[in-house]
């Protein structure tokens, strides 16, 4: 058994737990690598394991006959598989897969549920996280309805940046077009405009965030609601301190 110190973790939910609640959960946590394109939760399939992301990014997608579109992102602020398990179900219609490799802590879904049911403060924290994730999904719908490809791309880059350790987004234009549900030429043109305006720099398979404040001005009210809700309801340090 690996002993994990709460103060050494990067996952903001685990860091926000009451120390007594973390001490009860800690023995059930299993450190694992999070591999690129790894399927964590398949749609319409029983969820046996949920995951606290320590580093890396998980995409939540709606997959249909017409293609795949991203509806959510989960990084070190979150718990993959939280909503169905804590709201009384054991499956989801959405795919959860690793978009950026990293590390995670896995836990048996039913163990987490039993602990949360027995410990009100733990359950309240996790339910607050579910609320913020719902807010992110609603904000995505708003951005898709009101924004053009450029603002939608800028918002996506900000969300990726929030969940990254640095300023580089390692992703191809083809993948961005898939996640945003737009044609690749539209993404290419939008990236050119962002680069022309000094907001990003691009290289093959890489986008470097140069001017985050400029991206924030561009997206306006398409970004920030879910992030503000997270800070209001959960908050807490974002990384260990030496």
The band of 242, judged by pLDDT with boundaries at 50, 70 and 90, is: very low
Model pLDDT for residues 99-158, shown as the tens digit of each residue: 999 999 999 999 999 999 999 999 999 999 999 999 999 999 898 888 788 899 999 999
Q: What is the pLDDT averaged over residues 25-44?
A: 97
CA distance 52 to 105: 5
- Mean residue pLDDT across the chain: 92
- 120 versus 69: which is more confidently predicted? 120
85 touches 112 (CB < 8 A): yes
Nearest-CA neighbor of 190 among 181, 203, 177, 179? 177
pTM across the whole model: 0.92
pLDDT at 96: 97
176 touches 160 (CB < 8 A): no
Model pLDDT for residues 183-217, shown as the tens digit of each residue: 888 888 999 999 999 999 998 878 999 999 999 99
Would the CA dihedral through 32, 33, 34, 35 be positive or negative? negative
CA distances 25 to 20, 35, 122, 225, Å, are: 9, 24, 10, 30
């Amino acid at each position: 058994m690996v002993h994990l110190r709460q103060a050494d973790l990067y996952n903001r939910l685990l860091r926000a737990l009451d120390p007594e609640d973390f001490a009860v959960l800690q023995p059930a946590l299993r450190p694992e690598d999070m591999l690129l394109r790894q399927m964590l939760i398949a749609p319409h399939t029983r969820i046996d394991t949920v995951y606290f992301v320590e580093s890396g990014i998980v995409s939540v997608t709606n997959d249909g006959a017409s293609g795949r579109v991203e509806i959510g992102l989960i990084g070190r602020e979150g718990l993959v598989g939280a909503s169905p398990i804590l709201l009384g179900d054991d499956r989801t219609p959405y795919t959860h897969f690793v978009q950026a490799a990293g590390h995670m802590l896995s836990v048996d879904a039913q163990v987490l549920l039993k602990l949360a049911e027995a410990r009100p403060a733990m359950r309240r924290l996790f339910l607050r996280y579910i609320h913020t994730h719902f807010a992110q999904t609603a904000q995505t719908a708003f951005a898709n309805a009101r924004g053009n490809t450029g603002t939608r791309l800028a918002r996506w880059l900000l969300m990726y940046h929030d969940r990254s350790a640095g300023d580089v987004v390692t992703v191809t234009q083809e993948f961005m077009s898939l996640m945003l549900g737009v044609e690749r030429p539209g993404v290419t043109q939008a990236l050119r405009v962002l680069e022309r305006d000094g907001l990003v720099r691009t290289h093959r398979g890489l986008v470097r965030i140069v001017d985050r404040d400029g991206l924030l001005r561009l997206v306006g009210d398409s970004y920030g609601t879910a992030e503000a809700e997270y800070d209001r309801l959960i908050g807490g340090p974002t990384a260990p301190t030496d």
